[in-house]
Amino acid sequence: MIEVKHENHKLRPASEVMKLERIGAFRLTSLSFLRILLRHMMRENWQVDRTLFELNKDGHGHSVYRIQTPRHTFSFVVVSTEIKEDERSDRVISQKWDVTFALSEGIVSTEKIESLKRELPKQEAGRGDAFDLVWSRANRSNRIFDYVIDCLAAQKQPDPKVLNEVGYLLRTTAVYGNGKFGLAPYEKIKDNHPFSGPFQAQMFAVYMLRHFSFDLVEHIALQKNPDAVLLAPEIKRFIGTGNATGLGMAPFLIAHPRLIHQWVYIREKAIARVKDIQPSRDDLALMRYWLNRTATYFDDSRLIDREIFFKPEKLAEQCRFLNKIVLEYLKSGTLMKQPTQDMWHDLSVLAERTASIEMQELLHTLLLELYTDHVIDLERRMNVEETYQIEPRMKIRELIDLIKQQYTWVFQYDFTNPDEKYYFWYRSEEKEEPRIGVRDQEPGSDKELPMNIAEEVQELYQALTAAHPEEIVISFILKYPHYKGIIQRIQSLDGFEYGEVQANLLSKDLLPVNLLRFKLSFFGAERFNPKSNRWVRITLFQGAPLVEEIGQPFPDNWVFPQLPTWKGDQP
């Protein structure tokens, strides 16, 4: 029985949570989207069957999987294509990929399969229909794809330590939905659809790609040697799906502030709730287990290529430090020799004083792992109506008060300083994705995207202070129509305090990769490996249950998986 004190801990304010350094330290939680998806699949015992598998000896061809949920049937269609080594790229503008795939509603006909075989490999140049929920593409890992095949063909399992250098066999570059390429619009999967909720269809497509990657390497190995072994379940669980994400993800955070607020609000509500739980001795022992487990995980997963994120080995050290603190409380009821009646809250405060922001947010992740059952009711509250409207009769003084209430953070920046407007954001025609350029050094500033909310609010505020305080907003907009967009944003975010990333997105000190990690953490990403300050590779579903384990008892504690171990050559 969980003992909960009254919920007396307020949510952390946006001024603390929404700073770029902190949101760039977020990690997956039990409320991340792929975790929500897997629990849903497990509860409903979804059935996955391979109905078509027409691949040649090199693994090129197409495959179809049927997914049966209690009320719907879906098809996952994969096209595997031969490409040259120099054609393999993570760039959005790539023309060829090893694998392209689609998640479609219903049982696909022969005609539909033929259409997807033609259109999927084109991606941006291809066209789907309203029965397609997701389209995407992926490439083989250069480092371990062939290695795994060679191991299986040689009748042995791949070395987990080698697998851990990458974490996946196939790596996606983008996972599209919501009307792109003529796919089903977002409205089609709202309400009671199996994939209702943020990015549920996309996450499922990535999960199915993971399953196909196992089938693919096993098939190629068997073509090389009919006596090849199959991947052991322990090895398969340890392999996830990769993803390479660049700056294209960042504008989403600016374009959907109400949605971002809801994601962060639910996360903060869950954190505040679990901090109010009075831990039992079993809870404390479980926290020590998780701190040990994550310490080992980060010691084993030293992936970071650039000095951008906090070093994994340092994070492991801090896990072990907090483990000693929890042990002290378990033995004596004190934290660093100070008595406490509020363990989790005081441990969080201690972490703020003694550990990195990375460790502080990891601690929140682990608290939510301890008490997933206590916050699971929040998982269906991630959606929000995104309506952004002008309140025409609001008075200027009321709008000024709203800015003072929710946008005080914007006034810390001096935009007359060139370093505060060092970058500009634009959409590259050549690369077909949002990019960052250095102002006055690179072309494109004439097509600058409106990414810097701080500067826009500053400019509006100066104009408002010169207006009559009793003037109504619609009158002001008629005189200054270029302020309409930012006024609508401010008014629509009244009460949505987590909707804005509280940072200057043009600053010379900007680390754009923090924006990417922020969003990816809500998906359920791990193994953040920045390749520069503008793009990052991550892994999804590493440690997750396999397709054949759906519906079976499988504890929802598979994150931060440990290296598989066994006696001899075989598990």
Give CA separation, 158 vs 88, 213, 227, 369, in Å.
24, 15, 16, 30
As given in the structure block, the two tokens for residue 84 are 């040259």
pLDDT-derived band at 569 (thresholds 50, 70, 90) equals very low
pLDDT, position 9: 59
Question: How much is the pTM?
Answer: 0.94
C-alpha atoms less than 13 angstroms from C-alpha of 444 in its C-beta half-sphere? 19
Please tell me the least confidently modeled range out of 88-97, 435-444, 519-528: 88-97
Does 15 score more than 50 pLDDT? yes
Nearest-angstrom CA–CA distance, 254 and 196 = 23
pLDDT tens per residue across span 338-362: 999 999 999 999 999 999 999 999 9
Q: What angle do CA 27, 99, 113 make, to 5 degrees?
A: 120
Nearest-angstrom CA–CA distance, 421 and 451 = 12
pLDDT tens per residue across span 522-561: 999 999 988 888 889 999 999 999 999 999 888 899 999 9
pLDDT-derived band at 4 (thresholds 50, 70, 90) equals very low
**How confident is the model over 192-203, as a mean pLDDT?**
93
pLDDT tens per residue across span 293-333: 999 999 998 776 667 888 899 999 999 999 999 999 999 99
pLDDT, position 554: 85
257-275 and 343-354 are packed helices; what angle lies between their axes, rounded to 10 degrees? 120
**How confident is the model over 454-461, as a mean pLDDT?**
97
Dihedral in degrees, nearest 10, Cα atoms 234, 238, 239, 241: 130
Give me the percent of the chain exceeding a pLDDT of 70: 94
pLDDT, position 248: 85
- Please list the alpha-helical segments (H only) found in 86-242: 110-119, 145-153, 160-163, 200-224, 233-238
pLDDT, position 568: 47
Does 261 score more than 70 pLDDT? yes
pLDDT-derived band at 336 (thresholds 50, 70, 90) equals very high
Closest to 491 measured CA to CA, from 467, 457, 459: 457
Does 92 score more than 60 pLDDT? no
The residue with greater pLDDT, 192 or 229, is: 229
Closest to 232 measured CA to CA, from 494, 478, 520, 548: 548
Radius of gyration of the chain (CA): 25
